[in-house]
Amino acid sequence: MLSVRHIVPALFATSLALAGGPGVAETAAHHGHAAGELALSLNAGQKWQGDENMHKGMDAIRQAFAASLEAIHEDRLPGEKYRDLAATVMEQTDFMIENCELEPETDAQLHMVLGQVIDGAADMEEGEAPRAGAVKVVEALNAYGEHFEHPGWQPLN
């Protein structure tokens, strides 16, 4: 059976190629890197403006992680819960990619965040380092909040 780690990078790369626009090659190059290596930038000093679909998907991912954050921090979240979180990440990432209505520059920035989120979800699904994968997702969510205008967004601590 193929896992997220095997299927998603190919689908993600395809979606990036189809999206076109500036930053696509850079975005693909950042897939799989640690959140601290995300090369996000602001839009002329301002946060990027997203759309309702981006807000909906990112809210769902954030809410799922917020509900499990204490157990993740304390390293007591069971393996099946990491897999559940990974499934939520993938469902919402698929939703955002399929319903993307962003300008190319904004889309390229979001894809850098989503690449990190997908990488973390793959780590959570495989079970070898699920907590490290969750940390990648949390760091990407926090970077998202620093670079995208999202009413009511709160960082995860």
Domain ranges of the chain: 46-149
Q: How far apart are CA 76 and CA 52, in angstroms?
A: 34
Distance, in Å, from the CA atom of 155 to the CA atom of 66, rounded to the nearest integer, reads: 10
> What CATH architecture is 46-149?
Up-down Bundle (1.20)
Residues lower than pLDDT 50 in the chain:
1-36
Q: Residue with structure tokens 């999202």?
A: 150
pLDDT on residue 37: 60
Alpha helices (H) in the chain, listed in sequence order: 4-19, 24-30, 52-73, 79-98, 104-126, 130-147
Q: How many CB atoms lie within 10 A of CB 131?
A: 17
Q: Residue 54 has which token pair? A: 């981006």
Separation between Cα atoms, residue 92 and residue 118, nearest integer Å: 10
What tens digit of pLDDT does each residue of 17-32 get? Answer: 334 433 333 333 333 3
- What's the distance, CA 92 to chain centroid? 9
Give the N- to C-terminal CA distance of the chain in Å, as an integer.
35
pLDDT for residue 157:
84
Query: Could you tell me the two tokens for 41?
Result: 């930038």
Cβ(97)–Cβ(15) below 8 Å: yes
